[in-house]
């Protein structure tokens, strides 16, 4: 995969440095749908967060490549995102090509891979540290290797690199008694993964400088959160939050910080009164209903990908061009939007936030609460 490494970073901050979602973006990894493989429907971890309306897609294509036309259209949109970022002066890096159709075996199970489309799920950059998540889907066990050359390059340039212990993902890691139809038992949210081994995806964390919010989900458990907390140490406060998403997997369609003091919330899952006290002095902005109908090609996600945009800095936000109500709302609140087509990427399970991971944002590690 070609990337643009021709521009050299300004050197007065580390090569890898990102503390929040809104500081000026200087370098970013953008994923790829090249070689993407459709998961099997009978995979319980996939079923737990997959909309029932998408079952036909997994039954038809499970274990096979995504249809070529879907891959091509999504990759065109990714290339468009890369061009917009490059034109804004952001250095864009891309993963290596990897054959996700190869079946691999561990002592407990076998699987094919998924894709390298969503680096946000794998890598959490906290200041100068890249945290590589252990993941919780078998088809994502080796996904980080598509990014390995990049991460090694960043390591050689001085970044810290923590890789969390991977779960065996053996049968007892998943809960046989879990049913997506029963999201709560006695008021307690249920998840398909157990607590018997460490698990988290990076996209269940959202960074506000020295405070980081995280949710338990169908890919992130309490042990995983504790692992991150201990490794980041006392300089950081890791706040566990829970909202109304019945099948949570990744927090970046639930709450999205826009800049210090402004938080966008998904009103169908987050009630203002349920936000942690941390936000008592923040302006809370409710996102408008998504434009894309939920019965369409959203195979892997909720319809709230509308909120899964990418901030270039605290005033400029790259958004999906069809999300007119969101664009209007953001502009009303003083942000400049940069609309681009990204609808064809949605069926892979995310939008621009998922499709990227920050490598460098120019700013300081601060407290915002
Ligand atoms: N990977 C982000 C998807 C979150 C959601 O389904 O809303």
* Rama region for 330: left / alpha / beta (φ>0; ψ in -120 to 50; rest): alpha
- Using CA positions, which residue lies closest to atom 1 of ligand 1? 350
Buried b (16+ CB within 10 A) or exposed e, 171-181: eebbbeebebe
Q: Residue 292's pLDDT band (boundaries 50, 70, 90)?
A: confident
Pocket lined around ligand 1, Cβ cut-off 6 Å: 203, 249-250, 252-253, 301-302, 304, 349-350, 354
Catalytic residue among 201, 211, 245, 358: 201
Note if 201 is an active site residue.
Answer: yes
pLDDT at position 225, please?
Answer: 98
Mean pLDDT of 316-334: 98
Q: Residue 293's pLDDT band (boundaries 50, 70, 90)?
A: confident
Note if 354 is an active site residue.
Answer: yes
Mean pLDDT of 145-174: 98
3-state SS assignment for residue 125: strand
Q: Residue 159's pLDDT band (boundaries 50, 70, 90)?
A: very high
For residue 126, give the H/E element and its range.
Answer: strand 123-126
pLDDT in tens, 67-93: 999 999 999 999 999 999 999 999 999
More confident residue, 297 or 87: 87
Q: How far apart are CA 212 and CA 205, in angstroms?
A: 7
- Using CA positions, which residue lies closest to atom 6 of ligand 1? 301
What's the Cα-to-Cα distance from 190 to each of 43, 101, 103, rounded to whole Å?
A: 17, 32, 30
Eight-state DSSP code of residue 164: P
Catalytic residue among 204, 250, 259, 314: 250
The alpha carbon of 45 and the centre of ligand 1 are apart by a number of angstroms equal to 14
- Using CA positions, which residue lies closest to atom 7 of ligand 1? 302
Asked if residues 337 and 84 have their Cβ atoms less than 8 Å apart, the reply is: no
Mutate which of 52, 264, 304 to test ligand 1's pocket (most atoms within 8 Å of Cβ)?
A: 304
Residue 9, pLDDT above cutoff 70: no
Eight-state DSSP code of residue 231: H
pLDDT in tens, 268-286: 999 999 999 999 999 999 9
Q: How far apart are CA 306 and CA 76, in angstroms?
A: 19
What's the Cα-to-Cα distance from 173 to each of 48, 144, 167, 249, 323, rounded to whole Å?
A: 14, 20, 8, 17, 38
Mean pLDDT of 222-246: 98
pLDDT at position 173, please?
Answer: 97
The alpha carbon of 127 and the centre of ligand 1 are apart by a number of angstroms equal to 25
For residue 318, give the H/E element and its range.
Answer: strand 316-320
Pairing of strands 237-241, 211-215: parallel
The alpha carbon of 90 and the centre of ligand 1 are apart by a number of angstroms equal to 25
Asked if residues 163 and 190 have their Cβ atoms less than 8 Å apart, the reply is: no
pLDDT in tens, 102-136: 999 999 999 999 999 999 999 999 999 999 999 99
Count Cβ atoms below 10 Å from residue 163 Cβ, excluding itself.
12
pLDDT at position 72, please?
Answer: 98
- In terms of DSSP H, where are the helices of the chain? 44-47, 55-61, 68-87, 119-122, 148-156, 222-232, 324-332
């Amino acid at each position: 995969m070609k990337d643009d490494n021709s521009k050299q970073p300004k050197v007065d901050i580390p090569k890898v440095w990102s503390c929040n979602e809104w500081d000026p973006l200087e370098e970013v990894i953008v994923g790829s749908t090249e070689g993407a493989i459709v998961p099997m429907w009978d995979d319980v971890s996939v079923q737990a967060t997959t909309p029932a309306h998408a079952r036909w897609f997994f039954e038809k294509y499970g274990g096979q490549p995504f249809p070529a036309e879907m891959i091509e259209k999504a990759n065109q949109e990714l290339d468009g995102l890369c061009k917009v970022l490059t034109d804004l002066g952001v250095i864009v890096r891309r993963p290596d090509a990897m054959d996700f159709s190869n079946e691999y075996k561990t002592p407990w199970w076998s699987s094919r891979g998924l894709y390298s489309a969503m680096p946000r799920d794998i890598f959490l950059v906290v200041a100068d540290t890249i945290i590589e998540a252990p993941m919780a889907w078998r088809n994502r066990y080796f996904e980080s290797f598509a990014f390995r050359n990049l991460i090694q390059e960043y390591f050689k340039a001085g970044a810290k690199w923590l890789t969390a212990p991977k779960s065996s993902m053996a049968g007892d890691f998943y809960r046989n008694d879990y049913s997506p139809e029963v999201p709560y038992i006695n008021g307690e949210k249920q998840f398909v993964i157990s607590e018997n081994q460490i698990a988290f995806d990076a996209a269940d964390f959202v960074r506000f400088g020295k405070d980081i919010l995280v949710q338990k989900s169908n890919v992130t458990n309490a042990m995983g959160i504790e692992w991150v907390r201990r490794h980041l140490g006392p300089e950081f406060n890791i706040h566990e939050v829970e909202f109304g998403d019945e099948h949570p997997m990744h927090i970046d369609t639930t709450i999205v910080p826009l800049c210090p003091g402004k938080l966008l919330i998904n009103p169908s899952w987050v009630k203002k009164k349920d936000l942690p006290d941390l936000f008592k002095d923040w302006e809370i902005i409710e996102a408008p209903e998504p434009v894309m109908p939920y019965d369409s090609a959203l195979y892997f996600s909720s319809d709230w990908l509308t909120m899964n945009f990418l901030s270039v800095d605290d005033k400029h936000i790259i958004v999906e061009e069809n999300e007119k109500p969101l664009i209007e709302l953001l502009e009303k609140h003083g942000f400049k939007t940069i609309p681009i087509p990204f609808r064809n990427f949605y069926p892979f399970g995310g939008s621009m936030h998922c499709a990227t991971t920050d490598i460098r944002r120019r700013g300081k590690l601060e407290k915002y609460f």
